[in-house]
A and B are shown apart, each in its own frame.
Chain A
Amino acid sequence: MPVTQSDIEKVAQLAHLELGEEELKTFGPQIAEIVAYVEQLNELDTTNVEPAIGGLTPEGERTETTRPDEIFGSLGQKIALAEAPDPAEGHFRVPKVL
């Protein structure tokens, strides 16, 4: 399935990326080439092969990952806002949604 320019534009939209004309022109063929490369996986018969979900080893799968329902420290509002581009009255301020 060859990747088209319209595919690239659609994907950029999904990924919240605003691409310029030049970028679209360069990325299009590059991404198409990579997609064509990965299509070689179709050479393999994977009937009845379980998809690997995540990267856990068997020991990782067996590891207990729940913890007691107890409160432990958190960053707190001041630290949590310390890196914010536009903190305002204890909130992350963002441009309006139209």
Chain B
Amino acid sequence: MSRQTVEFSINAAEKLNETLNAFLQIDREGALRRAGEIEGSGHGGPLAGIPIAVKDNICVKGLQASCGSKILGHYHPPYNATVIERLTTAGAVIIGKTNCDEFAMGSSNENSAFGPVRNPWDTTRVSGGSSGGSATAVAAGIVPVALGSDTGGSVRQPASLCGVIGMKPTYGRNSRYGLVAFASSLDQVGVFAREVEDVARVLGVIAGRDPQDATTADVPVPDYTASLTGDVKGARIGLPRALFGKGLDDEVKSSVESVVDVYRDLGAEIVDVELPNAGYAIAVYYIIATAEASSNLARFDGVRYGFRAEDAPELRQMYRKTRAEGFGPEVKRRIMLGTYVLSAGYYDAYYRKAQQVRTLIKNDFLKAFASCDAIITPTSPTPAFAIGEKTDDPLAMYLNDIYTVTANLAGIPGISVPCGLSSERLPIGFQLLGPYWSEDQLLKFAHAYEQVKPFTERPPISAS
């Protein structure tokens, strides 16, 4: 059974890759061998035989980890990320590595050195990013589950644009060991699936304390599937009306408002909440994330691994040329921004100020969660936009993250769930945000919605 399932996925991945460009590497041989082993041994793990796709910034030993960048274009990590070890122990079969924005920097997957990922709902449009390949692989029915990473929305936003479920847990829930670091205080590995139960199962396998990642928390991992009772009577859902104003597409607005009605009908209480500093979140994010990135990406210098520029006979010249040739424009922009805000004379004005506003944003959520169990927002201000539409205006591109960055800044979990199609048949998603360690509740609420409003639409480009 697993060999057949895995082979189906591999065939679909290969067949659709020219159209979608979701995969950077497909491991036919390794995956089929592993599937055979699992079948033969009667492996009883919770994910036995399930084909999974993994974003190319998460290390899988023996496969590539390009991070969507030329600077790691031929890099093969000598170790597995902790989340990969856990998936493999549970019997999952990794069929390949997925395309992503370079070093996870982007909201459209147009920043990949290996071409954009195309949205299976309309291939002239973006998949969203940065985990565009993983979102697309699930949306097109190639794999039932995929891993991505979420620093400012990079799992939730492409999930929304591709019509699948995407979840980012609490900071410290999943190990970042083996996830190539972008912004260490914001990054988390996240999960894509078409069904909430699958997200719950995979999260239960990968979550938990890891001695190799000192930022993981010693908090027990519950059986997330046990929370999926369908009962949300009496649950309090917070509605931040002020965030449903300017810049939000009308169709997205009315779609998410309909979701609120569904929760009301299911017996939930809708509570008004305010997040007064949410409007500053993008500014805070693009100071903190870029500052951390400028530090994390300093290691890519041509010395120990990855690309090294030729014609650079002197060491520092080699650093400069390697990085100039190896990094794409968005990565360079962010490294420079990060270096600028950390530099002498500017540190207090920008970086320290941003850290203070981050505290204000965190406190907004703590206060809001005193009166509700989860907060509902749209995930993305618009459905998928056209490839090339926003590439000339970095700031316009950054504003796609307006609903998602707050969760990373505050460290809270968030899940995006598909709730409809626009008049152009493009997916719309809603987002639920919860207090620290409330993944079980968020999954419960998402599942309850899914039971009464299952998202049965399928994109024109689909595996079959």
Among B114-122, B136-144, B262-270, B277-285, the one that faces the other chain is B277-285
Task: Give the CA-CA distance A80 to B452 in the complex, in Å.
Answer: 53
- Does B55 make an interface contact (CB < 8 A)? no
- Are the C-beta atoms of A18 and B313 separated by less than 8 Å? no
24 A-B residue pairs with Cβ-Cβ distance under 8 Å, sorted by A, are A8-B336, A15-B335, A16-B298, A16-B301, A16-B320, A18-B320, A19-B332, A27-B329, A31-B336, A31-B337, A34-B333, A44-B357, A55-B172, A55-B411, A57-B437, A59-B219, A62-B217, A63-B172, A75-B79, A83-B306, A85-B303, A92-B304, A95-B315, A98-B315
Distance in angstroms from A55 CB to nearest chain B CB is 4
- Are the C-beta atoms of B305 and A84 separated by less than 8 Å? yes
**A15-B335, A34-B333, A59-B436 known; 14 other A-B pairs, CB under 8 Å?**
A1-B346, A11-B336, A11-B339, A16-B298, A17-B332, A18-B317, A38-B287, A41-B350, A44-B357, A60-B217, A64-B218, A75-B79, A80-B304, A85-B303
- Does A82 make an interface contact (CB < 8 A)? yes
CB neighbours (8 Å) of A82 from chain B are: 78
Task: Give the CA-CA distance A33 to B76 in the complex, in Å.
Answer: 37
**Chain A 36-67 residues near chain B, CB threshold 8 A:** 37-42, 44, 46, 49-60, 62-65, 67
- Most chain B Cβ neighbours within 10 Å, of A15, A46, A86: A15
Task: Give the CA-CA distance A18 to B315 in the complex, in Å.
Answer: 13
Residue of B nearest to A83 (CB): B305
Task: Give the CA-CA distance A15 to B304 in the complex, in Å.
Answer: 18
- Are the C-beta atoms of A95 and B317 separated by less than 8 Å? yes
Pick the residue among B217, B314, B324, B336 that contacts A96 (CB under 8 A): B314
Also in contact, A38 and B286, with CB within 8 A (given A31-B337, A55-B171, A59-B172):
yes
Chain A interface mostly helix, strand, loop or mixed? loop
Task: Give the CA-CA distance A35 to B185 in the complex, in Å.
Answer: 21
Task: Give the CA-CA distance A16 to B316 in the complex, in Å.
Answer: 8
- Are the C-beta atoms of B215 and A56 separated by less than 8 Å? yes
- Does A89 make an interface contact (CB < 8 A)? no
Classify chain B: how many residues form its interface, as a range: 35 or more
- Does B394 make an interface contact (CB < 8 A)? yes
Give the A-binding residues of B (Cβ under 8 A).
Answer: 75-76, 78-79, 170-172, 184-186, 209, 211, 214-219, 277, 280, 282-284, 286-287, 294, 298, 301-308, 312-321, 323-324, 327, 329, 332-333, 335-337, 339-341, 343, 346, 349-350, 352-360, 362, 394-395, 398, 408-409, 411, 436-437
CB neighbours (8 Å) of B79 from chain A are: 75
CB neighbours (8 Å) of B360 from chain A are: 44, 46, 49
Also in contact, A16 and B323, with CB within 8 A (given A38-B287, A56-B411):
yes
6 tightest A-B contacts by CB?
A51-B355, A55-B185, A18-B320, A85-B308, A83-B305, A46-B356
CB neighbours (8 Å) of B215 from chain A are: 54-56, 60
Task: Give the CA-CA distance A58 to B362 in the complex, in Å.
Answer: 12
Classify chain A: how many residues form its interface, as a range: 35 or more
Residue of B nearest to A97 (CB): B315
Task: Give the CA-CA distance A21 to B358 in the complex, in Å.
Answer: 36
Residue of B nearest to A58 (CB): B436
Also in contact, A37 and B283, with CB within 8 A (given A52-B362, A57-B436):
yes
CB neighbours (8 Å) of A17 from chain B are: 320, 323-324, 327, 332, 335-336
Task: Give the CA-CA distance A94 to B186 in the complex, in Å.
Answer: 33
Distance in angstroms from B110 CB to nearest chain A CB is 15
Also in contact, A19 and B324, with CB within 8 A (given A31-B340, A46-B360, A56-B215):
yes
Also in contact, A12 and B314, with CB within 8 A (given A44-B360, A51-B356, A51-B359):
no
- Are the C-beta atoms of B218 and A52 separated by less than 8 Å? no
Also in contact, A52 and B172, with CB within 8 A (given A83-B306, A94-B303):
no
- Does A23 make an interface contact (CB < 8 A)? yes
- Are the C-beta atoms of A62 and B336 separated by less than 8 Å? no
CB neighbours (8 Å) of A65 from chain B are: 214
CB neighbours (8 Å) of B286 from chain A are: 34, 37-38
Pick the residue among A7, A23, A42, A84 that contacts B332 (CB under 8 A): A23
Residue of A nearest to B301 (CB): A16
CB neighbours (8 Å) of A33 from chain B are: 394-395
Task: Give the CA-CA distance A36 to B327 in the complex, in Å.
Answer: 25
CB neighbours (8 Å) of B337 from chain A are: 31, 34-35
- Are the C-beta atoms of B357 and A55 separated by less than 8 Å? no
- Are the C-beta atoms of A94 and B316 separated by less than 8 Å? no
Residue of A nearest to B399 (CB): A37
CB neighbours (8 Å) of B219 from chain A are: 59
Residue of A nearest to B213 (CB): A65
- Does A30 make an interface contact (CB < 8 A)? yes
Task: Give the CA-CA distance A98 to B315 in the complex, in Å.
Answer: 8
Task: Give the CA-CA distance A44 to B277 in the complex, in Å.
Answer: 9
Distance in angstroms from B402 CB to nearest chain A CB is 13
CB neighbours (8 Å) of A54 from chain B are: 184-185, 215
- Are the C-beta atoms of B359 and A92 separated by less than 8 Å? no
Pick the residue among A34, A57, A94 that contacts B171 (CB under 8 A): A57
